[in-house]
Amino acid sequence: MKLEMKNIFIGLVLASTLAKAQVPSPAAIENSKVWIMAGTLHIGNGKVYTNASLRFDKGIITAIDSFRAPKDFPDHKIFLAKHVYAGLIAPNTTLGLNEVDAIRSTRDYNEVGQNNANIRSLIAYNTDSKVIPTLRSNGILLAQITPSGGNISGQSSVVQLDAWNWEDAAIKVDDALHINWPRMSLQFGWGAESSEAEKGQIEMAINAMNKIFSDAKSYCSSKGMEVNLKLEAFRGVFGGTKKVFVHTDGAREMISAVQFMQRYGIKPVIVGGDESHLITKFLRDNQIAVILIRTHNLPSLPDDDIDLPYKMPKILHDSGVLYCLADVSAWQQRNLPFQAGTSVAFGLTAEQALMAITKNTAEILGISDKYGTLEVGKSATIIVSEGDILDMKSSKVTRAWIDGRPIDLDDTQKQLNRKYNTKYFGK
């Protein structure tokens, strides 16, 4: 195939050698139609096409088909790419709420108090966090910014990772209420916490939660009541427009939480789910989705299969449980694709593994109408890589668009890399 070179951008960023030491500016929308010629096009729903074309216009994917001659679409800006994926999504992260773990003044994710239903993460999301571009550099373009702590941590929002401020970052405002379910089993030994279980107060804790939910239901079903900020936060929860994410790991806790929520007509999402493998049938039958946190983890019990955390995606996939992957904290999120990759070593195909950081995540977060897969009509939120992005030895993200805007993939770490390469090697 002979290509007209003037429109073609080889899939490598020609990085600026100027050290900027700052977060790059958010991009404007592509001023022309874009055509990506992909060696391998990973749709994100399990399908993969080789030698495929993807075209988008004004931020929306307009076509996916096979390789065509450049002259077919002369008005398109053309990019050659080896691997093309939908932008990756990091759920349940403190990104933008947490700059440096050890510095208190940079931690904005954990409010005091047990019931913080009214807390909203979005307004604290710092679009100028130096962490954000390092995630983009590994293909993560969307994230669910989530508070933590207390029994009810507050509300998360879903954002895209290239914005001037939280307003233009938001793609789903106050998407979910986050609840920590009380641990129901006992802990002993090193660093054991004294939770409700040790104090024999599980029932009390669940009763307290019940009071909050019944109050909220009553409050939300009537109008003209005196405003109660905490209960106000539940609007949408009962109508199904705001999700409830329950953070818990134990099988008993998951069952307890799901049945509790079902009494209020709520279908919660489980975050954590260490023991999901014990109750796959329950999860599937009740259509409960699970966000696995950090599968690059040690088994929680000494006699567990040494690879249990690595195998969890395969177990849930095979059982028909909808699940996706998350990592902890903020900066660690850039390794999310490699956690998906590890599940390939333990039985999933690469395309199945990919779903756990794209399509499945979008479905669980309720943004699959626009994000998570490369399909006509969906957002042009796309990454391009030199190799398989799930394997660290080949993942090299060279280009990305969010809603059709070409993202500057530079970050402060790349800047430092250039600075010292120049120092030592003059380049």
Q: Which segment (9-17, 146-154, 157-165, 291-299) binds other proteins by CB under 8 A?
A: 291-299
Q: Which segment (150-158, 174-182, 316-324, 330-338) binds other proteins by CB under 8 A?
A: 330-338
Among 338, 359, 367, 370, binds other proteins (CB under 8 A): 338
Return the H-helix or E-strand segment holding 316. Answer: helix 308-319
349 binds other proteins (CB under 8 A): no
Q: Which segment (67-75, 217-225, 340-348, 361-369) binds other proteins by CB under 8 A?
A: 340-348
Among 70, 341, 372, 406, binds other proteins (CB under 8 A): 341
Contact 153, 186 (CB under 8 A): no
416 binds other proteins (CB under 8 A): yes
Distance of alpha carbon 364 from alpha carbon 291, whole angstroms: 8
188 binds other proteins (CB under 8 A): yes
The partner residues of 271 in beta bridges, in order of sequence, read 247, 291
Q: Count residues contacting other proteins (CB under 8 A)?
A: 56
Residue 374 CB, nearest distance to other proteins (Å)? 23
Residues 194-233 that bind other proteins (CB under 8 A): none
Residue 200 buriedness (CB in 10 A; 0-12 / 13-18 / 19+): exposed
Residue 245 CB, nearest distance to other proteins (Å)? 23
Exposed e or buried b for every residue in 255-274, given b needs 16+ CB within 10 A? bbbbebbeebebebbbbbbb
Residue 327 CB, nearest distance to other proteins (Å)? 12
186 binds other proteins (CB under 8 A): yes
150 binds other proteins (CB under 8 A): no
Residue 187 CB, nearest distance to other proteins (Å)? 5
Contact 88, 139 (CB under 8 A): yes
296 binds other proteins (CB under 8 A): yes
> What is the DSSP track for 269-285?
EEEE-TTGGGSHHHHHH
Residue 340 CB, nearest distance to other proteins (Å)? 9
377 binds other proteins (CB under 8 A): no
Residue 343 CB, nearest distance to other proteins (Å)? 9
The partner residues of 11 in beta bridges, in order of sequence, read none
Residue 322 amino acid letter: L
67 binds other proteins (CB under 8 A): no
Among 316, 390, 402, 409, binds other proteins (CB under 8 A): 390
Residue 297 buriedness (CB in 10 A; 0-12 / 13-18 / 19+): middle
What number of other Cβ atoms are within 10 A of residue 413's Cβ?
12
185 binds other proteins (CB under 8 A): yes
In which region does residue 337 sit, left (phi positive, over 0), alpha (psi from -120 to 50) or beta (all else)?
alpha
12 binds other proteins (CB under 8 A): no
* Neighbouring residues of 402: CB distance < 8 A, sequence distance ≥ 6: 27, 87, 141, 142, 160, 161, 162, 379, 381
The partner residues of 40 in beta bridges, in order of sequence, read 50, 83
Q: Which is nearer to other proteins, 237 or 354 (CB)?
A: 354
CA nearest to 110, candidates 94, 125, 88, 131? 94
Q: Which is nearer to other proteins, 74 or 425 (CB)?
A: 425
Contact 295, 353 (CB under 8 A): no
426 binds other proteins (CB under 8 A): no
Residue 297 CB, nearest distance to other proteins (Å)? 6
Q: Which is nearer to other proteins, 132 or 171 (CB)?
A: 132
Applying CB under 8 A, the residues found at the interface with other proteins are 99-103, 130-131, 185-192, 250-252, 278, 296-303, 305-307, 330-331, 334-335, 338, 341-342, 344-346, 350, 390-396, 413-414, 416-417, 420-421, 424-425
